[in-house]
């Protein structure tokens, strides 16, 4: 009998988990996607499409944006958007490659200044995973105008090297080729060059191709060098465990400060995330640590519920985040809600948890008539946890801190929980769009994401498009990369020691 009860509880828990991470999932679509990877194995630069088909895709995309996006003209005037659309439409005057068309699609979406409404880069660059496709097996970043090699998994180029050219293509040209794929929220364009510098190796593969042997020129500590760098297949990369991502959740204590790393609000299961927070804050309290750093760098977002769960461990004013959501019910957004109200899980969401405020909002959203626009208000604050932290709090952010991390940062700053350090995050005070929903352009096969709701923070600066600024600015340096150190963490510890 006990086993049956556990199974029932587990079903309910999974149903709630799907609700939390389905309806309120709005992590940025940069390299991860819920859609299946079925894109062409062939390099998109080799695929030529008829102009009439691409124009038809463009028209369909505009119609879908108008029909499904919560407010496409929040940051851009409708006349300016129509003018840009017409310019792009008229520029397709001959058959062009899928790669060229992708830049046009991406540049149109850029006008919305919505980091959730983008070309799905994971799907687009899936050709690099094809059986015989060659890759450059390193990670890049950008500091100033320089293309920096952050990590070479073949150990041929030192970390912190400044790449000057690849197969004769200058780094300046490569970084220019990245620009059409920028995405940003509001006026966070200054973050885009740093945010997307990591796709530089994929851009090289897309536009110029990767050879069995590639000439790479770089400088290290001012000394120019040149090497022959092999191109390898994704199959080889998969076998190389060095490229595996690390756990996004970590707690460690150094110099009397607890450093809590939350690298994602979507990775692993809800149960794992809950347990991690509970154990971490219990450990922090047992150690009687009076200083806590919450590290949201590189956290592109995820579940609102997980973001709020973190706040319940912080003493101080009550937090209601987001304060409200607004959306227009469309066929695109309805598909998700229809699926979430079917079967046992759907019955549970609709009929149980009547006192759960988020479930109430979900039921209101699910019941909204098609094509109706509405705003839904949250009312209930989350209770503080047993091991809530009472000491000094600091928040680390950077240009990768987006979506749910923007909401967290906004509330953290508005409620004066503590000091914020790093670089501006990927969004403004007032909130962020969310629930990025896949939409396939039928003729070209390009996949885009269109956000169908907006999450609002009850803030006096709700309409400002400016990114949330840190109280103390720190941007990684080449020396940080060369020495493989966390420069911001070291900077924080040195500042604390001086006080």
Please write the tens of the pLDDT for every residue from 312-334. Answer: 999 888 888 888 999 999 999 88
Low-confidence ranges of the chain (pLDDT < 50): 1-40
Residue 340, SS3 per DSSP: helix
The CATH class of 23-127 is alpha beta
Contact 454, 432 (CB under 8 A): yes
- All CATH 3.90.226.10 domain ranges in the chain, comma separated: 249-498
Which residues are within 8 A (CB) of 90 and not within 5 positions of it... i.e. 6 or more apart? Answer: none
Residues in a beta bridge with 467: 428
CATH numeric code, 249-498: 3.90.226.10
Within 10 A of 443 (CB to CB), how many other CB atoms are there?
Answer: 17
- All CATH 3.30.750 domain ranges in the chain, comma separated: 23-127
Nearest CA among 238, 233, 231 for reference residue 210: 231
Separation of alpha carbons 160 and 477, rounded Å: 9
Give the fold, CATH level 3, of 128-171+195-241: Pdz3 Domain (2.30.42)
- All CATH 2.30.42.10 domain ranges in the chain, comma separated: 128-171+195-241
What pLDDT was estimated at residue 357?
Answer: 83
Separation of alpha carbons 8 and 295, rounded Å: 36
What pLDDT was estimated at residue 308?
Answer: 92
pLDDT tens sequence across 198-209: 999 999 999 999
What pLDDT was estimated at residue 37?
Answer: 38
Residue 110 tokens read as: 């850029």
Contact 312, 306 (CB under 8 A): no
DSSP letter for 424, please.
Answer: -
User: Integer distance in angstroms from the first to the last C-alpha of the chain?
Assistant: 60
Q: What are phi and psi of 214, to 5 degrees?
A: -125, 135
What pLDDT was estimated at residue 316?
Answer: 82
Query: Is 0.75 surpassed by the pTM of this model?
Result: yes
């Amino acid at each position: 009998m006990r086993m049956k009860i556990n199974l029932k509880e587990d079903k309910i828990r999974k149903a709630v988990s799907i609700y939390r991470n389905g309806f309120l999932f709005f992590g940025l679509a940069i390299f991860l996607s819920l859609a299946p990877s079925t894109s062409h194995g062939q390099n998109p630069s080799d695929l030529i499409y008829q102009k009439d088909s691409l124009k038809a895709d463009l028209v369909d995309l505009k119609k879908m944006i108008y029909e499904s996006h919560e407010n496409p003209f929040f940051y851009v005037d409708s006349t300016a958007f129509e003018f840009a659309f017409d310019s792009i439409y008229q520029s397709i005057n001959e058959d062009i490659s899928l790669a060229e068309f992708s830049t046009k699609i991406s540049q149109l979406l850029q006008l919305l200044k919505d980091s959730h409404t983008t070309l799905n880069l994971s799907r687009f660059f899936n050709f690099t995973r094809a059986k015989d496709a060659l890759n450059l097996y390193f990670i890049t970043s950008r500091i100033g105008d320089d293309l920096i090699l952050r990590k070479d998994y073949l150990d041929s180029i030192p970390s912190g090297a400044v790449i000057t050219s690849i197969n004769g293509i200058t780094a300046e040209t490569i970084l220019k080729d990245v620009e059409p794929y920028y995405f940003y929220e509001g006026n966070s364009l200054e973050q885009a060059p740093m945010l997307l510098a990591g796709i530089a190796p994929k851009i090289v593969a897309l536009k110029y191709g990767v050879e069995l042997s590639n000439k790479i020129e770089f400088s290290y500590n001012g000394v120019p060098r040149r090497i022959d760098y092999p191109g390898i297949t994704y199959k080889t990369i998969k076998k190389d465990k060095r490229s595996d991502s690390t756990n996004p959740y970590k707690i460690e204590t150094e110099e009397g400060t607890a450093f809590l790393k939350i690298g994602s609000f979507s990775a692993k299961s809800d149960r794992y995330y809950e347990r991690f927070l509970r154990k971490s804050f219990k450990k922090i309290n047992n150690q009687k640590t009076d200083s806590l750093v919450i590290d949201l760098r590189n956290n592109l977002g995820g579940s609102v519920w997980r973001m709020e769960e973190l706040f319940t461990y912080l003493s101080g004013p009550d937090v209601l985040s987001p304060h409200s959501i607004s959306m227009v019910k469309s066929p695109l957004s309805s598909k998700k809600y229809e699926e979430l109200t079917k079967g046992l899980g759907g019955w549970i969401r609709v009929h149980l948890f009547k006192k759960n405020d988020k479930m109430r909002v979900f039921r209101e959203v699910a019941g909204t008539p098609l094509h109706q626009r509405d705003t839904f208000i949250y009312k209930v604050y989350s209770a503080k946890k047993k091991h809530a932290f009472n000491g000094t709090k600091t928040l680390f952010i950077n240009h990768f801190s987006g979506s749910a991390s923007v909401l967290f940062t906004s509330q953290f700053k508005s409620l004066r929980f503590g000091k914020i350090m790093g670089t501006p995050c990927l969004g403004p005070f007032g909130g962020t769009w969310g629930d990025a929903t896949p939409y396939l352009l039928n003729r070209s096969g390009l996949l885009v994401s269109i956000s169908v709701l907006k999450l609002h923070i009850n803030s006096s600066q709700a309409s400002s498009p400016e990114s949330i600024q840190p109280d103390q600015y720190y941007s990684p340096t080449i020396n940080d990369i060369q020495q493989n150190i966390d420069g911001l963490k070291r900077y924080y510890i040195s500042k604390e020691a001086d006080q």
